[in-house]
Amino acid sequence: MRHIVRAKLLLTTMLTVMISPSWAASGDPSWGYKNQSWWLIKDTLSTQPVPLNYPYGTCGIGSNQAPVDIQGSASTARLNRPNPRYIPGLPTFYNTGYSVQVNTEEGYLGSVAIGNDVFSLIQFHFHAPSEHTFNGRHYDAELHFVNIREDGKAAVMTSMIMVGAANAEFQKILDNVPTAAGQKNSTSGVRLNPNLLLPTNRRQFFTYAGSLTTPPCAEGINFYIFAKPITISSDQLAGLKRLYDNNNRMTQPLNGRVLTSTKTGGMGQ
Ligand SMILES: [Zn+2]
């Protein structure tokens, strides 16, 4: 019971964070990437007793925070592989004030299956440079697909992004996202296929239990990070960075967590 209540609370929190543009949020104090001590931000409108007027406390006291630096991992052949079943849709393009974000339309049926669980794709968004690092090194950008199960449990699937060949699907996003923070574009009529923003080789991936990488940093979110990156052109990266640059949270301590990954070294790896 408690589990369900927690999950519902998480879902509500996440949807608020993800769908409300930052400027429209009431009661959620604004935050930024320059000073990432988000747990110190006080809700000055709150009449709640301390510590309830520090709405982002989890960002500081949580022990399962994301992102993390990927230095090594325990390999296992028995991991449940994420199987994306995304379909083309007619999304809404958001400039949230924190990132470029694409929300799927109401009734969108694209999902990712992980084991026996099915998670619906709610939205995806970009960070530049990447939030997860590999031995301390960033990719040029990182794409987070936010997928939510019926009970509110979330799975974030990520594509690392590096400069290379242009990506036509990514260009549709750049061409349709509003340039002003807090704006959305729901009337583009543009059909977008999220599958084309995933690496075709998804054989190797890393997974761990993490959190939202933005306030309120809620935990209980499983990450699935594909080892192979996708590419966008240098012009496309510049276009993304003109909207948002350095919107990456610093990596967080593992605190004893072990990353697991699929085995490496086979043909075609
Ligand atoms: Zn993200």
How far away, in angstroms, is 251 Cα from ligand 1 center? 13
Dist. CA 51–CA 106, nearest whole Å = 36
Would you say residue 88 lies in a domain?
yes
Read off the CATH number of the domain in which 86 is found: 3.10.200.10
Say how many domains are in the chain. Answer: 1
- Residue 6 vs residue 145, higher pLDDT: 145
Contacts of 170 (CB under 8 A, 6+ apart): 197, 232, 236
pLDDT for 6 equals 45
How far away, in angstroms, is 88 Cα from ligand 1 center? 21
Distance of CA 223 to the CA centre of its chain: 9
Of 77-81, 115-119, 163-167, the one with minimum mean pLDDT is 77-81
DSSP per-residue string spanning 174-219: HHHS-SSTTEEE------B-GGGGS-S--S-EEEEEEE-SSTT--E
Would you say residue 269 lies in a domain?
no
Tokens of 11: 């879902």
pLDDT for 269 equals 34
How far away, in angstroms, is 3 Cα from ligand 1 center? 24
How far away, in angstroms, is 125 Cα from ligand 1 center? 6
Would you say residue 268 lies in a domain?
no
How far away, in angstroms, is 247 Cα from ligand 1 center? 9
How far away, in angstroms, is 65 Cα from ligand 1 center? 13
pLDDT for 7 equals 45
pLDDT for 14 equals 53
How far away, in angstroms, is 53 Cα from ligand 1 center? 24
Would you say residue 56 lies in a domain?
yes
How far away, in angstroms, is 13 Cα from ligand 1 center? 15
pLDDT for 46 equals 73
Would you say residue 90 lies in a domain?
yes
How far away, in angstroms, is 42 Cα from ligand 1 center? 23
Percent pLDDT > 70 in the chain is 86
How far away, in angstroms, is 229 Cα from ligand 1 center? 16
Would you say residue 51 lies in a domain?
yes
Contacts of 164 (CB under 8 A, 6+ apart): 231, 232, 233
Would you say residue 122 lies in a domain?
yes
pLDDT digits (tens, 9 = 90+) for 185-217: 999 999 999 999 999 999 999 999 999 999 999
Are 65 and 223 in contact, with CB atoms under 8 Å apart? Answer: no
This prediction has a pTM of 0.88
Average per-residue pLDDT for the chain: 89
Residue-range definition of the domain harbouring residue 118: 2-261
How far away, in angstroms, is 49 Cα from ligand 1 center? 30
Tokens of 57: 């406390």
Q: Which residue has the tokens 């990450």?
A: 223
How far away, in angstroms, is 66 Cα from ligand 1 center? 10
